[in-house]
Amino acid sequence: MTTKDDISQESLERLNTNLARVEELSQRLIRALSDRQGANPSLSGPDGDVFVKAGAAYWSEMMRDPARVFEHQLEFWGKSVKHFLEAQQAVAQGLEAPDDDTPDDPRFSNPLWRTHPYFNFVKQQYLLNAEAVEKAVRDATDLDPVEKQRLEYFSRQIIDMLSPTNFLSTNPDALERAVETEGESLVRGLENLVADLEANHGEMLVRLADPSAFKLSENIATTPGQVVYRNDMMELIQYAPATEEVHATPLIIFPPWINKFYILDLKEKNSLIKWITEQGFTLFVVSWVNPDESYADIGLEDYIERGYLAALREVKAITGEDKVNVVGYCIGGTTLAMALSLLGHRGDKSVKSATFFTTLTDFSEQGEFTPFLQDDFIDGIEAEVAEQGILRSFIMARTFSFLRSNDLIYRPAIRSYMMGEAPPAFDLLFWNGDGTNLPGRMAVQYLRQLCQRNEFAKGGIELLDERLHLHDVDLPVCFIACETDHIAAWKDSYRGAQAMGSKNRTFILSESGHIAGIINPPSKKKYGHYTNTDMSLPAEEWHERATFHEGSWWPRWGKWLAKRSGRKVAAREPGDSTHPPLCPAPGSYVDPASSD
């Protein structure tokens, strides 16, 4: 029989054990933070000038129309006082929360946010505060559009950061879990925090996926193939055929080098690489090197010459074909367009057709990245790469995460650090955390010459002794854009497609976003897509008149590609006598263990 004394002794022992773990973790925490090599401070927030301008605009509005400003202030004060009185009355009448007509919000899904007077008061006051800040930003009418957009973005970041769910004392889910586990969840959360800091050299980047759940070439990136060429910029992987015959014209995919290529080859059922081989194509994929500080002076021209042009040369030599088809994804597509312009200047007809996945070539609209593409941030990046030689991967990861901060920062941090939960075994999020650095020179070229000055779409960008222009691209092209893409907005991708010199253009708009809209296998029957052959229309009208098709765009693109891929020939095994296999896919640049 268990006595109260036994239970008390057990609780005391658990408490002592947890205290000992906290002491050990605290020491590890201090060591991890001491290892931190922070980025340039200007990359952690906007230049103070944006807030000075916002304040000036607010006071300008105050002087011009004081009644309107006071009206908003009095509305906020009135709502706050009324809310406080309602909460007081509810408590006096029996500890019940007042009526709550606030909109549904996944952050506040716990029933206590509606039924418990304390949590309900905190939530409703937070939402009132957020509304007041948003109105104040809207009132700043004297700001130019870019400054207004920046102010909206950074004020939203502050609002999201101050959500009561982000603090233990005002998060009922975390408090309930702590009580249920007798504090064990908080210790596990501290363990998760320390592990994340240790893994990222003192930077707080919350892990989104369990790093032990996946191993390249075992349960992701498993499509068979061989590295058949390697230089200091890339490895060229040729995938094994999945059919007895293949189209004569080979296909090369140039992924972005901001992340690793195996997003195209996650689990077998989601693998675009596997699907392409099953359609009877000889497939080559470029795997870019993850640069260190020795790559500081590598620029876009090096990616073109030692990446794109080298791959074209080696694929033609291996297959014996004089023409190839190519695909570029994201920045890999942007640079592909510049490479195609260069080939045109040189009279090289090696490329038969080009496909662009979520690609920007006209940067006249900067979309959600506008806050990060102004001089204060890019000046900070220039200072960062001048010191480090590279733009370190965690800076890129942090920037992209803040565009979806609730989904990619705060909710994962709450689950990991406050609830003590292990990150999920999710292949896409595992890949997302496997980031890469960018060469310093290339990063500045991309930000200054393309994003800020839009040289490729305007007067032309000077690379490799040529002035390269978007309208130089005159071969058959197919663009795949994604309807809710927040990285490469589809309307901007469409505008770039319109500006190309090609008379044979196809534009396909997939449902979903930057990744899910591309990695959309037909077997899932999940996201549909739109088509419209009239690309003379403005983007909105193109969409309104487009035909919607259920299911993935992959089969439609496969037919488009097959028409441009020639006759069928016997399937080709990876490599040839002058290109012996160097190591199995996914290669040593993406997985150093594969070269052991």
Q: Are residues 174 and 230 in the same domain?
A: no
- Would the pLDDT of 7 be above 50? no
Domain-embedded: residue 218: no
The pLDDT assigned to 404 comes to 80
Mean pLDDT along residues 171-198: 84
Distances (CA, A) of 427 to 264, 267, 395: 12, 7, 22
Cα dihedral 386→391→396→399 (10° resolution): 0
C-alpha–C-alpha distance, residues 220 and 228, integer Å: 21
The pLDDT assigned to 56 comes to 45
3-state secondary structure of 105: coil
Domain-embedded: residue 286: yes
Residue 344 · residue 474 · CB < 8 Å: yes
For the chain, what is the domain count? 2
Among 330, 451, 478, 583, the active-site one is 330
Any idea which of 140-154, 215-229, 274-288 has the lowest mean pLDDT? Answer: 140-154
Task: Write down the H helix ranges in 65-171.
Answer: 66-92, 112-115, 117-139, 145-161
C-alpha–C-alpha distance, residues 268 and 508, integer Å: 24
Instruction: Please tell me which of 168-182, 344-358, 387-401 the model is most confident about, judged by mean pLDDT.
Output: 344-358
User: Quick one: CA dihedral 338, 340, 343, 347, positive or negative?
Assistant: negative
Q: Are residues 293 and 237 in the same domain?
A: yes
What residue numbers bound the domain in which 57 lies? 35-180
| Pick from 501, 482, 478: nearest CA to 492 | 482
C-alpha–C-alpha distance, residues 319 and 490, integer Å: 35
Q: Which residue has the tokens 């500081």?
A: 296
Selected residue with higher pLDDT from 402 and 65: 402
Q: Are residues 236 and 129 in the same domain?
A: no
C-alpha–C-alpha distance, residues 2 and 287, integer Å: 62
The pLDDT assigned to 563 comes to 97
Any idea which of 301-305, 326-330, 370-374 has the lowest mean pLDDT? Answer: 370-374
Domain boundary among 122, 153, 180: 180
The pLDDT assigned to 101 comes to 83
- Would the pLDDT of 64 be above 70? no
Domain-embedded: residue 566: yes
pLDDT digits (tens, 9 = 90+) for 68-109: 444 444 454 445 445 445 555 665 566 677 778 888 899 999
The pLDDT assigned to 373 comes to 83
Count H helices and E strands in the chain, helices first.
21, 17
Residues, the chain: 596
Phi, psi of 34 (to 5 degrees): -70, -15
The CATH number of whichever domain residue 584 belongs to comes to 3.40.50.1820
pLDDT digits (tens, 9 = 90+) for 334-365: 999 999 999 999 999 999 999 999 999 999 98
The pLDDT assigned to 358 comes to 97
Q: Are residues 117 and 250 in the same domain?
A: no
Tell me if the bond preceding 145 is cis, omega within 30° of 0. no
| Pick from 199, 590, 156: nearest CA to 394 | 199
Q: Which residues of 15-46 are buried (b: 16+ CB within 10 A; e: fewer)?
A: eeebeeebeebeebbeebeeeeeebbebbeeb
Domain-embedded: residue 585: yes
Other residues' Cβ atoms within 10 Å of the Cβ of residue 503: 8
pLDDT digits (tens, 9 = 90+) for 410-435: 899 899 988 989 988 889 888 988 88
Q: Are residues 129 and 275 in the same domain?
A: no
The pLDDT assigned to 119 comes to 85
Neighbour-count burial of 565, counting CB atoms closer than 10 A to its CB (0-12 exposed, 13-18 middle, 19+ buried): buried
The pLDDT assigned to 211 comes to 85
| Pick from 510, 544, 546, 551: nearest CA to 531 | 546
Selected residue with higher pLDDT from 478 and 191: 478
Longest pairwise C-alpha distance within the chain: 90
Domain-embedded: residue 59: yes
User: Quick one: CA dihedral 573, 576, 580, 585, positive or negative?
Assistant: negative
Residue 237 · residue 227 · CB < 8 Å: yes
Q: Are residues 140 and 252 in the same domain?
A: no
Domain-embedded: residue 206: no
Residue 140 · residue 150 · CB < 8 Å: no
Tell me which H or E stretch contains 251.
Answer: strand 251-254
Q: Are residues 259 and 172 in the same domain?
A: no
How would DSSP label each residue in 315-356? HHHHH--S-EEEEEETHHHHHHHHHHHHHHHTT---EEEEEE
The pLDDT assigned to 19 comes to 60
- Would the pLDDT of 392 be above 70? yes
The pLDDT assigned to 18 comes to 67
Domain-embedded: residue 273: yes
Instruction: Please tell me which of 162-176, 305-319, 367-381 the model is most confident about, judged by mean pLDDT.
Output: 305-319
Q: Are residues 50 and 133 in the same domain?
A: yes
pLDDT digits (tens, 9 = 90+) for 491-509: 999 999 999 999 999 999 9
Distances (CA, A) of 15 to 22, 28, 416: 10, 20, 21
- Report the amino acid identity of residue 32: A
pTM summary value = 0.86
Other residues' Cβ atoms within 10 Å of the Cβ of residue 12: 10
Phi, psi of 583 (to 5 degrees): -170, 160
The pLDDT assigned to 327 comes to 98
Any idea which of 10-24, 72-86, 117-131, 153-167 has the lowest mean pLDDT? Answer: 72-86
The pLDDT assigned to 94 comes to 61
The mean predicted confidence, pLDDT, of the chain is 86
Domain boundary among 156, 180, 204: 180
Report the first-to-last Cα separation within the chain, whole angstroms: 58
Residue 251 · residue 561 · CB < 8 Å: yes
Phi, psi of 7 (to 5 degrees): -60, -45
Mean pLDDT along residues 355-382: 89
Rg (CA), the chain: 27
| Pick from 445, 443, 440: nearest CA to 456 | 445
Q: Are residues 315 and 458 in the same domain?
A: yes
Q: Which residues of 63-89 are buried (b: 16+ CB within 10 A; e: fewer)?
A: eeeeeebeeeeeebeebeeebeebbee
Residue 329 · residue 255 · CB < 8 Å: yes
Q: Are residues 232 and 171 in the same domain?
A: no
Domain-embedded: residue 134: yes
pLDDT digits (tens, 9 = 90+) for 37-62: 666 655 555 554 544 454 444 444 44
Neighbour-count burial of 101, counting CB atoms closer than 10 A to its CB (0-12 exposed, 13-18 middle, 19+ buried): exposed
79 HSE (CA, 13 A, CB side): 16
Q: Are residues 360 and 301 in the same domain?
A: yes
> Angle at which helices 184-199 and 172-180 pack, to 10 degrees?
110
Domain boundary among 180, 196, 214: 180
Mean pLDDT along residues 538-559: 98
Q: Is 330 a catalytic residue?
A: yes
pLDDT digits (tens, 9 = 90+) for 562-587: 999 999 999 999 999 999 999 999 99
The pLDDT assigned to 80 comes to 47
Residue 531 · residue 549 · CB < 8 Å: yes
DSSP structure class, residue 582? -
Q: Are residues 250 and 172 in the same domain?
A: no
C-alpha–C-alpha distance, residues 236 and 90, integer Å: 68
DSSP structure class, residue 329? E
